[in-house]
Structure formats: structure tokens, C-alpha cells
């Protein structure tokens, strides 16, 4: 049989007796191999940075982040899209996860769905992907037909296309504006790309979307000042963030948050500039939501 050229499909040379290892050694081997995921993302950092820089103008115009994947890759896209709202108050309608087989595939395998190239194109069309959107295709193999179909449609729509693959020289990387190679090589359990290939994808997606959100003003310093406080834990976090950013006491931070409708960013501007909620909101709006810009321009852009 002709060897599969995809490195993720290769047999790991170091652990032919994996099934004979004692549990402590087995756990150590599996954990140690994950270090390759970090190395792969570090090597891909320039490519990820380029994708961030090209994505920003589209997102500043109101574009969306659209993720397309199958299996593990698709589920990681769903995860990244879902977490943007509570972490950065990113509107849910501007983070669109597409997964081969639909929402059922999040919890169970949908046989054959990833092989349907036309379905990938159809899902992108149904999502109304357009020129201001950023379409991220994720496939460890770099050959998944569903993802390639999604990217076909994304290119035709004029969207910025980003491709994340764990194999060099694959159709996915050749088909996108911003190829991101995460060269993780063979898996300890041969072919199980939910291991370090999946870990590398998770790190890369986290890095990409977090960098985008920082540049869009969703972070002040290294504080997540656009956090959406939807439970008691996050409400407490919001108070601590305001206290840390402003030096205010807990009572003052709590009062500012109440007046700002729970907006950490607005409360920070209120306390540091000594203005009310309406004025703080107006100043943030004048600076496209960037607290740093408001605080460095003490007029807040106001006459």
C-alpha cells in the first residue's frame, strides 16, 4: 500500500509498545507528547499574526468570524466561537460556527458528513458569508472535503479565508489567503488527531481570536473589561477588575458597575475620569470602544 503522505496519519516511531506501558508511564508519554502542540503554534506565530492583521479591518467594519470544520476540528471551532461572547461580549451573531453534520455532530459522529464538499459550500451560502467576514477553515488532515467546500464558497463571496491544518502541502493551505500550518507530526496513538493536533488547533484558535479581541479594544491592559457578568462568579470578577484597574474600593466599583449596567469598561472610565455613565459611554463610542484611547485622550474626543 502507498504510504499516506499526511504526517498526522503516520505511525509514531517512539512508542510501538504503548499498550504495554504501566499507567504512570502511559500518562507521562501522552502528556509529554502534547508539548509538540506548543512548539507547532510557536512556529506558526508569524502566520497567525498575519491573519489577525488582515482580519481586523473587516471586523472593524462589522464583519463576522465564521468557523468551518468537521469532527474534532469542527467542535474546536464551535468552542472558540461560543466562548467569545462571555469573555469579550462579542455578539453571538458575529461568531458563526459551521460543523459538518450540523449541531448533532457536536456530541456524536455523523458518518460521512465530512466527505460532503457541497454541504460545506451550502452551509457557507446559508450563513450569508460576505466580503467583510473572516472564514476560518480547520482540518488536521488539510484535505477534508466539507472544509474545502466551505472555503470554495468563502472565496467566491470575497471573505478573508484562513486555513488551519496540521499537514504541510495540503489543499486547504493552498486554498486560503492566510495559511496556518501547525506541523505536529504523527500522534502517539496513530491517527488520533484529537491529541496534539487538536491541542495545537485549540491553542492557535485561542491565540488568533484573543489577539483580535485585544486589538478591537476588548481588553484594557491585560484585563478582560468586556466580560459579560452572567453569573455570581463573573459578577465578583467584574468588581475585582474595576478595583484593580482604578484603585477604587469595592463599594465604589460596585456602584459604578450598577450605574453602567454592568459594563466593566464603562465603570473604569467613569471612575478614572470622574464622569457619569452616559459621558463615559459617549467617550467610549467616540473611540470605538477602546478604553486605553479614551484614557490617554482625556477629552475623550469631546469638544
Residues classed as catalytic: 83, 114
**Helix extents (H) in the chain:** 23-33, 35-43, 45-60, 71-88, 117-126, 145-157, 171-174, 196-215, 232-246, 250-259, 264-273, 277-286, 291-296
DSSP 103-143: GGGGTS--TTGGG-HHHHHHHHHHTT--TT-EEEEEESSS-
Residue 55 and residue 133: Cα distance in Å, rounded?
8
Q: Is 102 left (phi over 0), alpha (psi -120 to 50) or beta?
A: left
Block residue for cell numbers 474546536: 76
Residue 295 and residue 84: Cα distance in Å, rounded?
25
Residues in the chain: 303
Residue 98 and residue 272: Cα distance in Å, rounded?
42
Cell of 178: 492566510
Residue 138 and residue 146: Cα distance in Å, rounded?
10
For 135-153, letters b (16+ CB in 10 Å) and e give bbbbbbbbebbbbbbbbbb
Amino acid at each position: 500500500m502507498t504510504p499516506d503522505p499526511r504526517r498526522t496519519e503516520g505511525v509514531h516511531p517512539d512508542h510501538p509498545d504503548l499498550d504495554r506501558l504501566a499507567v504512570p508511564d502511559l500518562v507521562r508519554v501522552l502528556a509529554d507528547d502534547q508539548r509538540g502542540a506548543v512548539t507547532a503554534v510557536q512556529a506558526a506565530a508569524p502566520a497567525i499574526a498575519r491573519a489577525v492583521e488582515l482580519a481586523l479591518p473587516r471586523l472593524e467594519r462589522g464583519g463576522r468570524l465564521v468557523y468551518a470544520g468537521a469532527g474534532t476540528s469542527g467542535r474546536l471551532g464551535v468552542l472558540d466561537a461560543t466562548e467569545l461572547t462571555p469573555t469579550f461580549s462579542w455578539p453571538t451573531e458575529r461568531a458563526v460556527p459551521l460543523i459538518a453534520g450540523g449541531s448533532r455532530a457536536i456530541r456524536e459522529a455523523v458518518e460521512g458528513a465530512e466527505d460532503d464538499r457541497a454541504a460545506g459550500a451550502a452551509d457557507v451560502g446559508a450563513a450569508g458569508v460576505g466580503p467583510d467576514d473572516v472564514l476560518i477553515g480547520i482540518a488536521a488532515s488539510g484535505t477534508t472535503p466539507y472544509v474545502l467546500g466551505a472555503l470554495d464558497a468563502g472565496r467566491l463571496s470575497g471573505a478573508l479565508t484562513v486555513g488551519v491544518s496540521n499537514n504541510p502541502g495540503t489543499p486547504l493551505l493552498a486554498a486560503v489567503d492566510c495559511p496556518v500550518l501547525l506541523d505536529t507530526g504523527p500522534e502517539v496513538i496513530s491517527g488520533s488527531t484529537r491529541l496534539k493536533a487538536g491541542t495545537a488547533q485549540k491553542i492557535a484558535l485561542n491565540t488568533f481570536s484573543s489577539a483580535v479581541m485585544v486589538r478591537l479594544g476588548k481588553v484594557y491592559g491585560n484585563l478582560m473589561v468586556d466580560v459579560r457578568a452572567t453569573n455570581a462568579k463573573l459578577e465578583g470578577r467584574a468588581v475585582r477588575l474595576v478595583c484593580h484597574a482604578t484603585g477604587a474600593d469595592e463599594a465604589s466599583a460596585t456602584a459604578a458597575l450598577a450605574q453602567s449596567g454592568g459594563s466593566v469598561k464603562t465603570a473604569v472610565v467613569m471612575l478614572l475620569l470622574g464622569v457619569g455613565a452616559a459621558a463615559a459611554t459617549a467617550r467610549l463610542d467616540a473611540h470605538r470602544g477602546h478604553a486605553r484611547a479614551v484614557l490617554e485622550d482625556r477629552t475623550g474626543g469631546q469638544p
